[in-house]
Amino acid sequence: MISIEDLRLAVTLARSESLSAAARALNVSPPALSMRLRKLETLLGLTLANRDARRLSLTADGERFSRESALLLEQLEALPESFRQKDESLVGTLRLAAPFGYGRQRIAPLLARFARLHPQLRLHLDLRETPWPDRHDSDAVIHIGHLNDSLWTARQLTANERWLCASPAYLQEYGVPSSPDQLAKHRCICIRENDEDVTLWHMRKGQARKTLRVEPALLSNDGSVARRWAEQGLGLVLRSQWDVGDAVASGNLVRVLEDWRFDSAPILLLLPSRKLRSPRVQALVAFLEDALKA
């Protein structure tokens, strides 16, 4: 008979790049995991995975079994909630993925509040450089910027403009640009995130539209690093309002070209449209919408 541990094994294998990684996720040794996998394959009469020392890949049967296992686990996990009364606590596990910077600064404190509201709920926050499209195994994903994907539903949690900023010291040395054309003479700091062309800046003022190709003096895939470079006087940075707002308010950064609007990067909550929306997911959606819009 197939056990819950077998279902968890199949789901974990689908999320892992190697047997060693799967073993770490399940807190077992690689030999023990290999034995469990062989027993499951014998029980099913199927080969679920092709594996060697460094790489793991599921067969077509393995992928199907993993999908069905994930669905069964989700239904089992949601079963207690289906019997709870409206005044009872949320239970089960809720998995949320988010980008490193925004996840640390904004989402983690909010999840701490959410956890206090629902102490019986297990919360998993997975922070990574590109949570989308990597985290399809999550219940929800925080994404910054526009996205078109027919399989996931995007709900905007809050607007998020991009501001062009520099330190007072930099502006004193290099001057304050009064038009987009003057940016070509300035040191620009760029942030490589997602698949965007980060050196192509789009801006508008009223009916006027401008597209500018910048040559970055400094480039990083970490937005916090880029912001700190700008605070240290190393150049102009185009950064999300959520990240530079405090620095602008404190005077560490100065917003320039304020009458021009750059492409926005709204904060989105992505939800698998074909996945059962459990009460815990619905509660998280409502909580984040209220907290971030406030």
Which phi and psi (to 5°) does residue 253 adopt? -130, 155
- State the Cα–Cα distance between residues 201 and 213, nearest whole angstrom: 6
Identify the band that residue 65 occupies on the pLDDT scale cut at 50, 70 and 90: confident
Which tens digits make up the pLDDT trace of 208-242?
A: 888 989 889 999 988 889 999 999 999 999 999 99
Q: How many CA atoms lie within 13 A of 241 on its CB side?
A: 14
Q: Which two tokens stand for residue 275?
A: 């996945």
In 3D space, the residue among 161, 112, 128 whose CA is nearest the CA of residue 291 turns out to be 112
- State the Cα–Cα distance between residues 254 and 239, nearest whole angstrom: 12
Task: Looking at 188-232, list the stretches that DSSP marks H as alpha helix, in order from N- to C-terminal side.
Answer: 223-231
Identify the band that residue 136 occupies on the pLDDT scale cut at 50, 70 and 90: low
For residue 169, the model assigns a pLDDT of 96
For residue 222, the model assigns a pLDDT of 86
Which tens digits make up the pLDDT trace of 139-157?
A: 899 988 877 655 678 889 9
The amino acid present at 279, given as its one-letter code, is: P
For residue 135, the model assigns a pLDDT of 55
Cβ neighbours, 10 Å, residue 73 = 16
For residue 85, the model assigns a pLDDT of 47
All domains in the chain, ordered by first residue:
4-80 (1.10.10.10), 87-149+269-293 (3.40.190.10), 162-262 (3.40.190.290)
For residue 87, the model assigns a pLDDT of 47
Cβ neighbours, 10 Å, residue 266 = 17
- Per DSSP, 139 falls in state S
Q: Which two tokens stand for residue 37?
A: 């996998």
The amino acid present at 6, given as its one-letter code, is: D
Tokens 């089992």 found at: 76
Rg (CA), the chain: 23
Average the pLDDT over each of 88-97, 130-139, 167-176, 266-275 and give the range with the smallest value.
130-139
The amino acid present at 261, given as its one-letter code, is: R
Tell me the average pLDDT across 46-55.
76
Q: Which two tokens stand for residue 16?
A: 């892992």
The amino acid present at 235, given as its one-letter code, is: G
- State the Cα–Cα distance between residues 175 and 244, nearest whole angstrom: 20
